[in-house]
Structure 1
């Protein structure tokens, strides 16, 4: 019978078919590949797996296709997974990073009382970041560290050098008498576990101390045959295990305030976000966002996608705090301990030399650009401030609803009076709330808000929100908002602001904008003058009152309006930015500027909407189609007054939007979309709900024979989610 052939480890293949045939030794190979000699030696001897980076380096050095190396690894892993005990002996190659030593572990865990409750968190991070086929991981830590039962419990479909295959129960302690603690936990666990269950469980004891009697203890406990197997790890073992986990090294560096080379864990991000106030910000501030976006995060974690997940919030700090909380959900915790947030460029490429078994997060464009070469092998998340991305985000974090906001603040010990004042002062934006409650001056009032000249210079930028720096009409609008300051001076001002720490502006290609309009609006409210607000209203009337020349073309040609020379002068960025500012002033203007400047944002917004739409015409409604939802949000009563009055007329102009949509060609449009979205938004509020019902009833009298007619029908039936309008924010 012929001898059965087993797949070669790719390291063995390279040694036998490349190095030996060419007479290249390990030292020479290491120089050619660009990886340390121990790293190459471990690979050639089959002790570590081939990574995409290693395969690419071998291809460049010796001409062996990277795909072949990775295919060999896949075949080897597939066989190893079937062979008991084989897969758990191979370790992934990880680039040396923070060089955590056993003595570091001993010193921190045994001399710091708080650190003792953190051992379970470190072990959980190690298991999640280095394990394979994990079915259950339970390591209660922090406040739950003293919970009865196993200190840790793991169910793994396949093993590693540190994690037993199958079921394992973990106990650990930091006391000086290690043998006594280990014996006590061993006996306690035997007593608490049925023999039939013990036959399938590996008992694991862990101590962050050095344990000279470890080997003898393991042998003695195994001899009792009370468990499937017995293992024990001490500080030396943890040092070696941590060498395989960038996430665990980063966690330890963050916990011990050691230099972490510009990378953070989500634990550290949460501390950085929440612990700047007294009391600390409460996790329940993200309870609504977790429910709304939890499935989207799950889908990302489960999918094999090459493009990044894009998250937008009022600040990047808020988005990172959200990630920390949503990934703390039990079904997502596995992924949380593999997430690394890169704060500085140049770090990610070093990490990816050895492993891509982590999820990378970028919150700066410099780091985001480094994702490119690894997009096919590395899962990535990109965080943007609101209005700073020119692509459609996957997740958008909105200000909290009243109920969620109040419950979270009550959990922080805030009273009824605090709830009202903080809601008004923050607009229920978590970024603004953090500034309001912060005990750190640099966070409470950033440099650009403390300096009057700087904050005054920001006023026109905040009012417009975003603009195309190469568009002459946009330049004119910005100059008018700034009191006729030449655009060239404003452009220079933007570039100076962009260099500030905690910069309030962004610049991408030819576009510019304010990072968080609501954050900036609240931070520099004291710099606004009545003249600034009047200039905004005049500029808004000019920009939003511009007709859409594309409407002069047949509907089938409107998608190519710019090619026909029928393009608006002002960019879509400016129109949208000014419409959003109008909403913010309507909602928060009286609170921010009422007493000092005598400004009523509600009244100003209502007057502007009437000027823009009254007298109403089908042409005006179509020209403002995309803006109608924001108009309705800014001035709900004025907007409905205009539509209702028109629908009572003999020949309502509004009904002109209810013609069948021309959907038979590329770029076709639906003239009624903006109006229906506006009405749906108003239907959330009890104050306008009944009026929307009547309006939709009148619109539903018109039969629209196209595929999109169902939209109006469903709205007319009020097929809308039933939630309290207080949970919707006009901001």
Structure 2
């Protein structure tokens, strides 16, 4: 695509800012073209610092950037050849610290400089420099045409605007962040997201990459991409931002993929289906997705900031603590809602909020549905209490304008932002629509995956799109609405009772193993929204050994079964973080572990592994005090001696340390922050657990564990030998033999 021609460049060369901006333009073009090992090209007020205008070292070959070491000189003078000659003579006489024979020499001018190639050829024949090049306005035009991100950035700098749907990520952020007062800071996207940021860095470290960023809105995903890139070390940051381009139409996407070099493409258009062809053409992709969509491949999910993290980010933007805290509370930490606050601090309602509430609220509750799926359409008609044609017409009207309520992608209707819609509409949810939602929820989530009706070895034959009656889009969005009803409503106590009752109708003593397995992808959210009902359902399940055995059997082979038990474990792990329900969740994980036919298998996560991670006090997980952890271990030991000692063995310190993995964490429900443990805390816990373990010695294996771990205990008062003596005397009492003291 062509946004700038040589005449635009030559006209710009006459402006006062050209001398300051040209070095920055060249620097961005170099970053967009090759992998830069080092680069020093001062721009702006730093231009007149003396020395070379640019010194570059690259690892790759490119038409416009020499491989290896190169030095650069720039000039905007009208007589470009005179400037080129003057700089060349000066640098031949004094190359400073550079070695000319090993270094490429490049001169660049935004002027016509029609004899640039002849001049460069003549200078090459001097055999002073490794090669000599000279670029003019036409060369810069051609270079810009294959670097779309820099081209769009430069267009904005010189006041050119086009009607296409392509944006430089850098320019997009400048415009997007400036809408709020005060200006949105990068901290509002990055605060308390260090693990997510590290995942981002790991993914972009590959030479070619494709992954998605999932958040409440597409804009939040794009903003995170910019902020994450901006946090990188300078060379990596400049490399990334010089290549990153937002594309909002398929036509522009196809053109850039086929005619540009080495872009980082951010596709934001309905027809985007996959980026394999773009990868093959040498590009990378980061795909922003909303909460109702799924992406096949690597994905990063942006969890909502905690209230304290959101508040701290607002404070970095200049707000006083009290006001920042109030905004965090009022907006429910939604970035989309926050952006609706005007300069007077008042919330501006979206235009769609004045539409028919009787149709807005059902769309809020259904979230997403596939108009290509007849069952989805029937369910939508039931929830909307309207004919489908009326629904479709209503949604078509709300998909228009600059601030739409919904959008339609390949037949799938979806909310633009769940939290934005929830903020403005949740108070309009009445008993009538809640009853229709109940019927919808029970119908969709009573649908058993058809592959579990097949024999184990035949399950893989069932196509993904034939496994459920309802679309994956509807299944995914309804569970999010379920969580919002429980956790984000003004009448939270009433809604908590409502969702508890609703989940109780799905998960109970009559729930088949097929349905438990079919709900794998929903159970973690169900557990967050209705922990009491979820634990009640699991309590029934662990007493029904045949069902649990079938779940383990169907989890034993990825090809034939899949990880049927994983969802159940994720749900329990989420509840482990709850101060009210965490202890019960741990005991239920232990009961599942006792039913595991292959506890030592490393295929998929096992309950025993979850327990071991929970009780590693040096990497604490779950909201338990040190004393509570020891009490829970004692309870597990009373359930089963061997399981208890497995946990003790894992929880006691290892010589040389150990490794730990994170358990599942809630996405929606906030939990109390865990205080960081000190070495003193860890030693105290180890000593107390060792003391309790001595009381529990009841087998030769337990003695071995204690002897093996005893060297890490910092207390000489533990009478391990005395405990062993009592144990053996107890074991041989029946033979009337006594061990001498």
Q: Which TM-score tier does this pair reach, normalised by the shorter chain?
A: 0.5 to 0.7
1:700 aligns with 2:605: no
CA apart distance, 1:242: 4.1
Contact 1:201 1:229 survives alignment (8 Å):
yes
Contact 2:108 2:135 in 1 (8 A): yes
605, 608, 619: which is aligned to 2:499? Answer: 605
> Pairwise CA RMSD of aligned residues?
5.1
Partner of 1:135: 37
Alignment partner, residue 387 of structure 2:
486
- For the pair 1:535 / 2:435, whether they are aligned, the reply is yes
Match of 1:521 in 2: 422
Unpaired segments of 5 or more residues in structure 1? 1-93
TM-fit CA distance, 1:717: 0.8
Match of 2:13 among 92, 96, 106: 106
TM-superposed deviation, 1:490: 1.4
Listed as ranges, the matches of 1:88-237 within 5 Å are 98-99=5-6, 101-108=8-15, 110=16, 118-131=21-34, 134-139=36-41, 152-157=54-59, 163-169=65-71, 195=97
Deviations 1:564-592 (A, max 9, x none): xx9765555433322210112222112xx
CA distance in 2, matches of 1:374, 1:195: 42
Alignment of 1:41-440 (within 5 A): 98-99=5-6, 101-108=8-15, 110=16, 118-131=21-34, 134-139=36-41, 152-157=54-59, 163-169=65-71, 195=97, 238=140, 242=144, 245-262=147-164, 263-287=166-190, 288=193, 289-299=196-206, 301-302=207-208, 309-328=211-230, 329-330=232-233, 331=236, 333-351=238-256, 354-366=259-271, 368=272, 376-379=280-283, 381=285, 383-387=287-291, 389=293, 391-392=295-296, 394-402=298-306, 404-436=309-341
Compared CA separation, residues 162 and 320, structure 1 to 2 (3 A)? same
Q: CA deviation at 1:411?
A: 1.9
The residue number in structure 1 matching 2:724 is none
The offset of 1:364, in angstroms, is 0.9
Corresponding residue for residue 446 of structure 2: 546
Contact 1:385 1:515 in 2 (8 A): no
* Cα separation, 2, equivalents of 1:572 and 1:239: 47
Of residues 168-177 and 383-392 in structure 1, the stretch that sits farther from structure 2 once superposed is 168-177
Secondary structure at the counterpart of residue 400 of structure 1 = coil
1:631-666, Cα deviation, whole Å (9 max, x unpaired) = 11112344335545876x7x7898566644464695
Contact 2:4 2:155 in 1 (8 A): no
Q: How has the CA–CA distance of structure 1 residues 302 and 425 changed in structure 2, closer, same or farther, with 3 Å as cutoff?
A: same
**C-alpha separation between the residues in 1 aligned to 2:107 and 2:479?**
62
The match for 1:461 is 363
Q: CA 1:554/1:356 → structure 2, altered by over 3 Å: closer, same or farther?
A: closer
Whole-angstrom CA distance in 1 between matches of 2:597 and 2:403: 51
The alignment's TM-score, normalised by the length of structure 2, stands at 0.67
Aligned mates of 1:163, 1:550 — CA distance in 2 = 57
SS at match of 2:304: coil
Q: 1:627: how far off?
A: 2.6
**Mapped contact 2:37–2:57 kept (Cα < 8 A):** yes
**Which consecutive residues of structure 2, in runs of 5 or more, have no partner in the other structure?**
624-663, 670-741
1:411 and 1:116 mapped to 2: Cα distance? 34
2:597 aligns to what SS in structure 1? Answer: coil
Aligned equivalents of 1:568, 1:350: Cα separation in 2: 38
Query: Are positions 1:632 and 2:527 aligned together?
Result: yes
Report the alpha carbon displacement of residue 509 of structure 1 after superposing the two structures with TM. 4.4
What is the CA deviation profile of residues 220-255 of structure 1, one whole-angstrom value per residue up to 9, with x for unaligned ones?
x99999998888878787567546644433221122
8 Å Cα contact 1:282/1:411 also seen in 2:
yes
> For 2:248 and 2:551, how far apart are their aligned partners in 1?
51
Provide TM-score, normalisation by structure 1. 0.68
Higher relative contact order (CA 8 A, sep 6+): 1
Comparing 534-543 with 512-521, which one deviates more in the overlay?
534-543
8 A contact 1:254–1:264 mirrored in 2: no
Deviates most, 405-414 or 236-245: 236-245
Once the two structures are superposed, residues 58-108 of structure 1 have per-residue CA deviations (whole angstroms, 9 ceiling, x without a partner) of xxxxxxxxxxxxxxxxxxxxxxxxxxxxxxxxxxxx868555533332245
> Does the alignment pair 1:474 with 2:380?
no
DSSP-derived class of the 1:365 partner: coil
Aligned residues: 611
Q: Is the 8 A contact 1:298 1:332 kept in 2?
A: no
Q: Is the 8 A contact 1:343 1:364 kept in 2?
A: yes
SS in 1 for 2:421: helix
